[in-house]
Structure 1
Amino acid sequence: MSIFYDQSNHIFHLQSYGMSYAIQVVKDKYLAHLYWGKRLRMGNLDYLLQFAERTSFCANPDPLDPSFSLDTLPQEYPGYGNSDFRVPAFQVQLGDGSTLVDFQYQSYRIFHGKPALEGLPSTYVENDEEATSLEIEFHDPVCGLALLLTYTIYESRNVLTRSARFINNGSDRPKILRALSMNIDFADADFDLLHLEGAWARERQLERRPLFTGSQSIESRRGSSSHQHNPFLALLRKETSEDYGDVFGFNLVYSGSFLGHVEVDQFKTARIAIGINPFDFSWLLEPGQSFQTPEVVMVYSSEGLGGMSRTYHQLYRTRLCRGLYRDQERPILINNWEATYFDFNADKIEKIAKTAGELGIELFVLDDGWFGKRNDDKNSLGDWFVNREKLPGGLEELIARVTRQGLQFGLWFEPEMISPDSELYRAHPDWCLHVEGRPSTLARTQLILD
């Protein structure tokens, strides 16, 4: 077991072979962040959180304790409206229009293994001894909402995963307006921010810049994580290089719109969070239903960016990827797109496959143009039936001709897209993403299926 609970101080200490992560329940209600970094010895970690009266303008939930303020408490999953004026991790609108939800600590559970996230991709374990998980439950006594924070730490990797789940145990019908997957409040802001910006065919360019007072963010509002920004952030100490220094990495396992932000407050502490983009987002949570956020994979490295990169690579290759080729060598393939574009027939494809087989290539993939009336990129997406003018013998004959050359056969298609000039669209124009009565927005002369 690599998660330990200090009952007398209400501290959870999560340990991997080279990393510690510590959190504490404060005043029997609030979950505070204590530490993340190199592995600490077991012992009393209560000294890591010190309270002191900062200014007369920091609100105090307890009037008898001016040293305690949620506006300065380093929190794990903060809300807004109960005196923390920094950017919140979540926001919920209740039936009366108010947006104040006050989650209070209820219970915890520690267990071997790692739970799957319903309906979402996530990292996994093949043996429960690989990881230990912690679930911490919070309730709002007024509205009946519950919050479940899940932490999993891998025994032999400096990796921690986090997610949040909202559960409606009440009779109200609240709307979730903001539901990020994690939040950490660091004790200082002496970091550089690293992220991966880019554009189509120029993805994942490194950009490193110092933190400053105020907010910095990366995001996508495109419905996908996008060429422009990868759902990844890292905080680096100033001296950190490829081979040396502390790195704290955050990667959201999610392919939709996302937000990652860092806020440096008046006391020069840094709050970092990442999750689903709250822009144009709302989720009606009916009584008895729950909402699960995507997983964030957090990596600590004391060996610079190289150490972080290797940890992510090894984890994702073996505990995020699935299927036959996770552990097998993938076949060497050739794709006909640049060779033919839309102008091909069975003879031309067989000739490519024959030459490819002679060169030791193992897999041929037939690209765009084999379906509908697809002789250019302006039509037929959604009409997934063979273009018999181009391939009169159909795919069956073409596959036989390719496999005779000793190659496997693969097929390209784009099931999420639809052309306005297609039989599918003419039959079901309401199947694309659209707003009734408004003109549709096209890109590459195509629409997106809903």
Structure 2
Amino acid sequence: MMNPQIYISADETTFHLTNGEFSYILHCLPDGHLMHLWSGKAVRPEADYTCFHEVFPRPMTSCPDADSWYSREHTAQECGTFGSSDFRTPAIEITHPDGSTLSDFQLTSWNILDGKPALPGLPAVYCEDSSEAKTLECILTDQKNSLEMVLSYTIFRDHNVIARNTRLINHGDAPVYADTVQSLCLDLPDSDYVWMQFSGAWGRERHLRNRTLEQGIQSVGSRRGHSSHNHNPVVILRREHTDEVQGEALGIALVYSGNFLIQAEVDTYDKTRILAGIHPDGFRWKLEPGEQFQSPEAVMAWTDQGLNRLSQTFHGLFGRRLARGCWRDRPRPILNNNWEATMFDFDEESLVKIAGKAKECGVELFVLDDGWFGARRNDKAGLGDWVANPELLPNGIAGLSKRIRGLGMEMGLWFEPEMVNKDSNLYRAHPDWILEVPGRTGCHGRNQFVLDFSRKEVVDAVYDMMCHVLDDADLSYIKWDMNRSITDCWSHALPADRQKETAHRYILGVYDLYERLIQRYPRILFE
């Protein structure tokens, strides 16, 4: 591969991203809308590919331009909007101050950056050197309401991928509501693909399911508050005869842990629109004047050398440019976890005995699981009180870790920071810190209730409790459980017109806790 390049046509309407093996081309139409011309095997940058723009008239076509047959319904859009001749599912849907949902985003400027900017508050692939990637930022504006949309495209030197995200900025003088903000919109010229998704349930996650794309909509997603064990936020589209070692395939992966949607919509002319991003059901984000919203990142990978090469592309990118820290390139230690041996029935001496036997077997890391804290003698009490139980561990976690290390082993510890039992000191002190709808009976899962991580003070309190333990003990590993999906998604801290922000704000709170902990404890492996 060559260093990534972004070529711009002489009239500054066509943008060609390439690394010598892979090309992605977009074009600005006379009305300012961005359309998709090509994604796939590298093509010559000096050629004109605007012939791919369809202008052929069709019956019942609606045309935004009174002097032509051009319709957005039959044009490959880079960010489709509903209501102005495009009848497909939109990538962006805004409720404006006048109550309308019609948007008209036109390209007003663009930037080319070396490397790849970080996404504030969100995980994203990165560069260690600015020569690894180039980023194109297309700035589009809805002039009527002074709403700006930034579409970001990053192409990499060493990976045949495009990383995409969407940012909205309200430059107007009145609030608007973002009802749909997809990270990726990709309109393909045909539907001759097999859709591959990875679905399952607890204990049997990520089983491959194949189906042929047909006219209509098919999708995979989650409305469980997290991406979940049911459906993985990855989809592959392969040609019928593609196998592990030959043939074309396109992969879409969403770098996000919350509610998500990846969807294929095939129209009656057998063209395909792929959308990937936050699930629009139950989502609405209020943008006050001056505020902005950043979507998660979607990564599109392409190959013409079979599914094995596509897997290598994703693994190479995510393993070396999404994972971070000192553990990124190191083998994980062999560990022994006490849970199946003891469940809640243990004390310091029994744990040290188990660890000693594990050491004899070549185990490198001993992990103390659930039950070490508060009044946690069963799964109905104590969750949220991250203080060692002195009856079980008279010397605390610090004393136990010293004894484990004395055996020549590392030590790890279990947390479930996002959850709480109602029989806990934390809940008794702050009953409004859980997600619940006032006046309704809330759901529990495994006797757990979900802490409202959309609130900074809740994240701060959990962070402080965890730091008190981690500062005191010599730990190398944290097992981080999240044992239930989110119900009753309502926050005591948000007004009514912002309640649909709760699920995404919760995930941002989780990411905030992650980031603070890994910055403070860079040598600990968090799993």
Question: Does residue 1:35 correspond to 2:38, yes or no?
Answer: yes
Q: CA deviation at 1:325?
A: 0.5
The answer for the alignment partner of 1:416 in structure 2 is 418
Instruction: State the distance in 1 between where 2:236 and 2:270 align.
Output: 18
Q: CA deviation at 1:420?
A: 1.1
Question: Does residue 1:194 correspond to 2:233, yes or no?
Answer: no
Write out aligned runs for 1:20-419 (5 A).
20-66=23-69, 68-419=70-421
SS in 2 for 1:92: strand
- How large is the RMSD of aligned CA atoms in angstroms? 1.2
SS in 1 for 2:73: coil
Structure 1 stretches (4+) deviating beyond 3 angstroms?
none
Q: CA deviation at 1:122?
A: 0.2
Instruction: State the distance in 1 between where 2:358 and 2:326 align.
Output: 24
Q: CA deviation at 1:44?
A: 1.8
Q: CA deviation at 1:243?
A: 1.4
- Alpha-carbon contact 1:172-1:287 (below 8 Å) kept: yes
> What letter matches 1:73 in structure 2?
T
Instruction: State the distance in 1 between where 2:413 and 2:315 align.
Output: 28
Offset from partner CA, 1:288-336 (integer Å, 9 cap, x none): 1110000001100111111111111011111000111112222221111
Structure 1 alignment gaps of length 5 or more: none
Structure 2 alignment gaps of length 5 or more: 453-527
SS in 1 for 2:397: helix
- Alpha-carbon contact 1:17-1:158 (below 8 Å) kept: no
Instruction: Compare 358-367 and 222-231 and name the one that shifted more.
Output: 358-367
Offset from partner CA, 1:424-443 (integer Å, 9 cap, x none): 11111110001111111101
- Alpha-carbon contact 2:197-2:232 (below 8 Å) kept: yes
Instruction: State the distance in 1 between where 2:51 and 2:437 align.
Output: 53
Write out aligned runs for 1:420-439 (5 A).
420-439=422-441
The answer for the alignment partner of 1:4 in structure 2 is 7
Instruction: State the distance in 2 between where 1:7 and 1:288 align.
Output: 34
The answer for the alignment partner of 2:484 in structure 1 is none
Instruction: State the distance in 2 between where 1:154 and 1:52 align.
Output: 33
> What letter matches 1:45 in structure 2?
D
Instruction: State the distance in 1 between where 2:280 and 2:219 align.
Output: 13
Offset from partner CA, 1:250-304 (integer Å, 9 cap, x none): 1000000001111001211000011001111111001011100000011001111
Instruction: State the distance in 2 between where 1:50 and 1:91 align.
Output: 24
Instruction: State the distance in 2 between where 1:298 and 1:18 align.
Output: 15
SS in 2 for 1:354: helix
- Alpha-carbon contact 1:17-1:157 (below 8 Å) kept: no
- Alpha-carbon contact 2:194-2:210 (below 8 Å) kept: yes
Instruction: State the distance in 2 between where 1:106 and 1:50 align.
Output: 21
> What letter matches 1:182 in structure 2?
L
- Alpha-carbon contact 1:190-1:211 (below 8 Å) kept: yes
- Alpha-carbon contact 1:3-1:13 (below 8 Å) kept: yes
- Alpha-carbon contact 1:17-1:156 (below 8 Å) kept: no
Q: CA deviation at 1:388?
A: 1.5
SS in 2 for 1:324: coil
> What letter matches 1:92 in structure 2?
I
Instruction: Compare 121-130 and 303-312 and name the one that shifted more.
Output: 303-312
- Alpha-carbon contact 2:37-2:53 (below 8 Å) kept: no
SS in 2 for 1:326: coil
TM-score (norm 2): 0.84
The answer for the alignment partner of 1:441 in structure 2 is 443
Offset from partner CA, 1:93-116 (integer Å, 9 cap, x none): 112211111101101111211000
Instruction: State the distance in 2 between where 1:400 and 1:48 align.
Output: 70
Instruction: State the distance in 1 between where 2:133 and 2:337 align.
Output: 40
Offset from partner CA, 1:139-177 (integer Å, 9 cap, x none): 111011000000000012101100000000001100110
Higher helix share: 2
Aligned length: 449
TM-score (norm 1): 0.98
Offset from partner CA, 1:212-265 (integer Å, 9 cap, x none): 111001110000001110111111111111111111101000000001111001
